[in-house]
Chains A and B, each alone.
Chain A
Amino acid sequence: MADRPATAGIEKAGDDRMIVADDVVKSFGHFQALKGISMALNKAETVVIVGPSGSGKSTFIRTINRLERHDAGRIFVDGIELTDDIRNIAQIRSEIGMVFQSFNLFPHLTVLQNIGLAPRNVRRWPKKKAEEKVMQLLERVGIPEQAHKYPAELSGGQQQRVAIARALAMEPKIMLFDEPTSALDPEMIKEVLDVIEELAESGMTMIVVSHEIGFARHVADRVMLFDDGLLIEEAPPNRFFDDPQHERTKRFLSQIL
């Protein structure tokens, strides 16, 4: 697409770009979900992706941690290219935390076990260390008193905050949020966005797929519009919302504002 970032020299250490996507293509059968996405994400940067449903924004962030395999193009995470090698995939996944629209907490495990599972089993931390980390994260997302409950006993907002804590427990360098507030009742959206905002301020590198315009304006360093598998426009939030360049962006904004 238009302004492709220079992919030369990505392998070199000391690069500040945490994610580089170069002409990424993905199809489901005859449907082409991604038609060549190129973008780069710098360290400690927060990018919010907006766009109509079916525009490929969720598919794109799912290719970054290999929940979907891209058909063509290249993806680099922290300087490592994403390949078919299982070990490579495991390594990249352990650097990326992901939060889903429908939380996807493990219903048969308590909050404590949900969050501690990956540190214990993937990072091989001893039980005590993992539990300390869990409690510290629960403090951070504001629900330490829920540690011994099951997901079904929590509100949607609390569940999503547990899901964020679960992703953070692996101490990832990058966080991906796939419409984290779309499944929430309106009064619970703010408590989740507050946690994400705090995370952005702490210097986490993040991609957030979201329709929360107020949040995007406030938290994003850059906003991107996806449509029909293409990256249409990217700009800092003020320019993106107040002075969009592309016709498609203007139309999209007029529909949702």
Chain B
Amino acid sequence: MSGAGPKGPRLGLGLSEDVDLLRFEQQARDVEAAPGPGPATPGEWIRQNLFSGPVNALLTLASGTFVLFVAYQILSFVFVSAEWEVVQVGMRGYMIGGFPVDEAWRVWASAYLVIVLAGLSYGVSARRLRPSAGQAAVGAVVVAVAGTIVFFTAQTVLVRALTAGVAPAVLAGALVGRLFGRKILRPLIVAWVLVFPAIMIVVRGFDGVPPSEWEGLFFNIVAATVGIVASFPLGLLLALGRRSELPAVRVVSVGLIELFRGVPLVAWLIFSKFVVDLVLPPQMVIPDIVKAFVAMTLFSAAYVGEIVRGGLQGVPAGQYEAARALGLSTTRMMALIVLPQALRSTIPAMISHFISLFKDTSLFVAIEVTDLLAAARRSASSLQYFGRDMETLLFAGLIFWAVAFSMSRWSQRLEVRLGVGRR
């Protein structure tokens, strides 16, 4: 024990090492148990963290100046020099583009369907995951910003009311969800599966609006949903195919992945519109948008396939052996043992890809679809608001970011919930 103190000589041999280790563990535990030492005053914190040396101080000053400058520029633009009227006038265009105004109720109905479902789901799962103070603060800021935007942009009382109604709808859903709890989990999952077909019927059916007139943010969201929902199972098949023991299946899978991944999405979209007809029989007419959706789905499936393959490689060989030794068939082994583990580990990469896909739906502008971004640019090129690109692009960017950020948050919740029992 002698000489085994933290500062004593370390012999690196037998007993003294062991004792050292014990002592180290004890110290680690003490540190954990003790309230964090922490700086006494804010001034001290700043000195410790930002001005601990001359280089550090210089870096702090330089980056601080830069941040303040950028913040000042942006804030002064947003609150002083910007003229937001262009966004106010263009709002409907950003959201639904040239979607017939008389039919806009179809989009509202669809939006509310999703909103109420989201609220219900939150209510069901929030039983165990209450929002923290930080989450509540973020929520408050979001509500405040969104509220302000709505107040200044809505052009009719009805739209103002419908937009304001989103918050109560989510809240009502959450309360009902909390009331019933996990009892409605199963119907809720079924509802999520059915909601997209339901929306398609609401928008399209009963003398509705054809896909060629779907524009604005509504288009971005529908296209991204189609891409995600369709490319996920396809990508799964490609990943499994790439690991197949049959050489033919393997070669075809690898070939498809490399082919669709190797060409830019925008090129595939143009290709789908102008080239595919050459190889189709002339009496077969497929709407451009459908062909483009297929192209996007194949493109995305190639990425999903590679992401899933990465996840499959992370499943230890022992899992396959245990499943085989129990007599599980290959199909059951994959479905019950391997894929659940593989997919869980791919959530971060998968969500990144899906966020990317959502933003890439802007590329549909290459085949003349007026999505949110295109609508924003268009509204700044009208005679009346010519040159107000800053306002419109800032706003479009904010919307894209808000949707992407929601996806990211949701995926983190998913990770927490599925993380149970990880080793």
Bound CA–CA A151/B318 (angstroms): 15
B interface residues, tally (CB under 8 Å): 22
Q: Chain A 83-120, CB within 8 Å of chain B: the 1/0 string?
A: 00000001001101110101011111110000001100
Chain A interface residue count, Cβ-Cβ cutoff 8 angstroms = 29
A166 to B329 CA separation, bound complex (whole angstroms) = 17
The closest CB in chain B to the CB of A123 belongs to B327
Q: Are B336 and A121 interface neighbours, CB within 8 A?
A: yes
A167 to B318, CA, bound (A): 14
What CA separation (Å) do A205 and B207 show in the bound complex?
Answer: 72
**Distance of B246 from chain A, by nearest CB (Å):** 14
Contact A152 B422 (CB under 8 A): yes
Q: Does A50 interact with chain B (Cβ within 8 Å)?
A: no
Q: Which residues of A contact B321 (CB under 8 A)?
A: 67, 100, 104
Given contacts A93-B326, A98-B325, A100-B318, contact A121 B332 (CB under 8 A): yes
Q: Nearest Cβ in chain B — how far from A155, in angstroms?
A: 13
Kindly state whether residue A170 has any CB partner on chain B within 8 Å.
yes
Decide yes or no whether A122 CB sits under 8 A from chain B. yes
- With a CB–CB cut-off of 8 A, which chain B residues contact A109? 421
CB distance B328 to A152 under 8 Å? no
Complex-state Cα separation, A65 to B327, whole angstroms: 10
Check if A108 sits within 8 Å of B318, measured CB to CB. no
Contact indicator B324/A67 (Cβ below 8 Å): yes
A93/B324 in contact, CB under 8 A: yes
The answer for the CA separation of A150 and B325 in the assembled complex, in Å, is 21
A197 CB to nearest B CB, Å: 22
Q: Is the interface of B mostly helix, strand, loop or mixed?
A: helix
CB distance from B352 to the nearest CB of A (A): 22
Are A122 and B328 in contact (CB-based, < 8 A)? yes
Contact with A along B321-339 (1 / 0, CB 8 A): 1111111110010001100
- Interface residue? B420 (CB, 8 A): yes
- A151 with B336: CB separation less than 8 A: no
Chain B residues whose C-beta falls within 8 Å of the C-beta of A90 in the assembled complex:
327, 329
| Cβ distance B126 to chain A, nearest Cβ, rounded Å | 23
Known: A150-B421, A151-B421. A121 touches B328 (CB 8 A): yes
Most buried by A among B324, B327, B421: B327
Contact status B423-A106, CB under 8 Å:
no
**Closest partner residue, chain B, to A169 (CB atom):** B326
> Do residues A170 and B326 form an inter-chain contact, with CB atoms below 8 A?
yes
Sampled A-B contacts (19; CB under 8 Å): A65-B325, A90-B327, A90-B329, A98-B322, A98-B325, A105-B322, A106-B337, A108-B340, A117-B328, A118-B328, A121-B328, A122-B326, A122-B327, A122-B328, A150-B420, A151-B423, A152-B423, A166-B326, A170-B327
Other A-B contacts than A90-B327, A118-B327, 18 sampled, CB-CB below 8 A, are A67-B325, A93-B326, A93-B327, A98-B325, A102-B318, A106-B322, A106-B341, A107-B341, A107-B421, A108-B340, A108-B341, A110-B421, A121-B328, A121-B332, A121-B336, A122-B326, A151-B423, A166-B326
